[in-house]
Amino acid sequence: MTVGVLALQGAFQAHIDKLNELGAEAVEVKRPEHLEGVDALVMPGGESTTMSMLLESSELFDPIAERIDDGMAVFGTCAGLILLATDIEDGRPDQRSFGRLDIAVQRNGYGRQVESFETDIATTVTDESVHAVFIRAPKIVRLGSDVEVLAEARGDAVLVRSGNALGAGFHPELSKSTAIHRLFLDSVYN
């Protein structure tokens, strides 16, 4: 299996390392031709408006949207979650998203950089506790009826999935655990 990792901004190398640790072949995706042969895609954290603009300038937005619409599995973390949301409550008017998860998010919903936090969370998909790192994290403020909540923190949904999309409001690539990446790979295999 080949998993692409959007490599325009953010901690994409940490995702590549996690995926390789689990036996997947992870490749950087920076241009449309890098999507060829990719079975699934990870969208890392970063700054969502900048990532949205970079997706446009690199001409990746439409090819990625087509692949997701055709059923390619996608996993978005932090800014990647924002890019998968149907509604970005405080996004720029020209900011595009893929609209794959029927959720509304607030960018930096937990506060500024100084209010970033770490906590252990329980998920419905593993017995393993997962250390979650929230850095200027988005907050999910609305869930559609087809969105399954897999983990919560501070009373909020922080790990969700719907169809071929998985989204995390935190950075699982910064944890020692591989549970969340394993969950994503399992969804691709099944």
Q: What is the DSSP track for the chain?
A: -EEEEE-SSSSHHHHHHHHHHTT-EEEEE-SGGGGTT-SEEEE--S-HHHHHHHHHHTT-HHHHHHHHHTT-EEEEETHHHHHHEEEETTS-TT------EEEEEETTTT-SGGG-EEEEE-BSS-SS-EEEEESS--EEEEE-TTPEEEEEETTEEEEEEETTEEEESS-GGGSS--HHHHHHHHHHH-
- Residue 173 among the catalytic residues: yes
Q: Which of 36, 59, 66, 173 is catalytic?
A: 173
Indicate if 152 belongs to the active site.
Answer: no
Q: Which member of 15, 131, 152, 171 is catalytic? A: 171
Active site residue 181: no
The set of catalytic residues is 78, 171, 173
